[in-house]
Structure 1
């Protein structure tokens, strides 16, 4: 399986620019790519209260429709982040878009301090079957809380995808966190971060990475823009879980309600 990590710059509050770069990356992806992953809130960037009300869109809005058309044209899937507007409420949302449409969407459950009061936190974790693999989504600060990835693990996640917007001086924190989340759940983890400068002097740390189920780094980006394809060998899942299985061996279970959907999605409701 080939996954392309699209580590690029963005403009906060400039959907037209961000969407143009997104569509260009999809159109020029490497032949044989199965999925492209973009940073957190790729389509709108990080917005203040005034910008957010102006640029946030519903999941079926024009920007996501354009991404879906591009995915269909190239026959690839795309993990993309956005500022979602739903019934007058705003969410930091990432969606897995396939040529057939949106396979699943996840609303960030652990908001960074500067997001609180702008976004509403999500109330559930979600996984879906994609090309026979159970995939789950996390967003940025989520990975610093081990229970987030563990919730996906309880749902059977074999591949944890992370849209990231991590900035200096916290780059090393997410390098450690993504490695730990993969190893302790014996799953692949792929994280894609933003680079360059944002509003209010933020400098994004890059460091996009792919980790195997044994906690080994398969790829780690620097601080510049890059489009990197990584190949994942899912036979490693069996290798990682052959002698011991953390999910089966643990004695403390997360509380919450699990919901099975007929389309293969599984959700874990936060109590």
Structure 2
């Protein structure tokens, strides 16, 4: 499985321009032959624009998802991105995985909202984080803050997820997430974690960049700096990583709980 992690300069564009940038980025990524291209949290219509969340949010059958499905089909590449969803008048911070054929593989509404803006804009989701398959690898989907809670990644591991994909919008001042918590989740659960962040400033909020892909040994396979970056990472087979003492102990605990 080959990942493309897109770390864009945080956009101030309207939705049409953001979708055009998605098309251009997936088109450009195509020469690297990724199985999936991952974009940050609330890429549509932008993270730090609370006025847009309610006014611009769309349904799963709206034009945003139809356009994303068309881009995935055109470039025969799965896409994962965060967006603002309007479901019967309730607004969610959502993320969707779309297959290379344009079908929805997984849809998820963020449970753990972070900060005043998110709590004012969104309703927490209720469904479990989903698992789905891309290129023969079982994946799980979380959104930003949720990777900081051990229980979410652990639950996905118990359900067989080898790869946790995390669209995020992590600001400056919270770099401990990339430095400590993302590697810890990967190491604890013998998983790969793919974390796609913004860089730059959006409506007064500065993002920390440092998007990364971490292996089950807790070491980064690739990591961005603080400028717009595209990471391309071919994931090794999980069997190439020997079980650590920690992952073995956790597996023993899971077995006892079952």
Q: What is the TM-score with the length of structure 1 in the denominator?
A: 0.87
Within 5 Å, give how 1:29-44 maps onto structure 2.
29=29, 30-44=31-45
Tell me how far apart the structure 2 counterparts of residues 248 and 55 of structure 1 sit (CA, whole Å): 44
CA-CA distance at 1:253 after TM superposition = 8.0
Alpha-carbon RMSD: 2.1
Within 5 Å, give how 1:1-271 maps onto structure 2.
1-11=1-11, 14-29=14-29, 30-100=31-101, 101-114=103-116, 115-123=118-126, 124-199=128-203, 201-234=204-237, 236-237=238-239, 239-241=241-243, 245-250=248-253
CA-CA distance at 1:248 after TM superposition = 2.6
SS of match in other structure, 2:85:
strand
CA-CA distance at 1:155 after TM superposition = 1.2
Tell me how far apart the structure 1 counterparts of residues 257 and 225 of structure 2 sit (CA, whole Å): 35
Tell me how far apart the structure 1 counterparts of residues 97 and 249 of structure 2 sit (CA, whole Å): 27
SS of match in other structure, 1:6:
strand
Tell me how far apart the structure 2 counterparts of residues 127 and 69 of structure 1 sit (CA, whole Å): 23
Deviations 1:132-186 (A, max 9, x none): 2110011111111111111111211100011010001112333311101100010
Tell me how far apart the structure 1 counterparts of residues 179 and 88 of structure 2 sit (CA, whole Å): 36
Inter-CA distance 86–13: structure 2 relative to 1 (3 Å threshold): farther
Tell me how far apart the structure 2 counterparts of residues 203 and 171 of structure 1 sit (CA, whole Å): 12
Tell me how far apart the structure 2 counterparts of residues 173 and 33 of structure 1 sit (CA, whole Å): 26
Inter-CA distance 47–170: structure 2 relative to 1 (3 Å threshold): closer
Inter-CA distance 209–246: structure 2 relative to 1 (3 Å threshold): farther
SS of match in other structure, 2:154:
helix
Tell me how far apart the structure 2 counterparts of residues 34 and 86 of structure 1 sit (CA, whole Å): 29
Q: Does the 8 Å CA contact 1:144/1:174 hold for their aligned counterparts?
A: no
Tell me how far apart the structure 1 counterparts of residues 58 and 227 of structure 2 sit (CA, whole Å): 29
Tell me how far apart the structure 2 counterparts of residues 28 and 104 of structure 1 sit (CA, whole Å): 24
Q: Does the 8 Å CA contact 2:54/2:121 hold for their aligned counterparts?
A: no
Q: Which runs of 5+ in 1 are unaligned?
A: 256-271
CA-CA distance at 1:15 after TM superposition = 1.4
Q: What is the TM-score with the length of structure 2 in the denominator?
A: 0.91
Q: Which runs of 5+ in 2 are unaligned?
A: none
Name the structure where helix makes up a greater proportion of residues: 2
CA-CA distance at 1:48 after TM superposition = 4.8
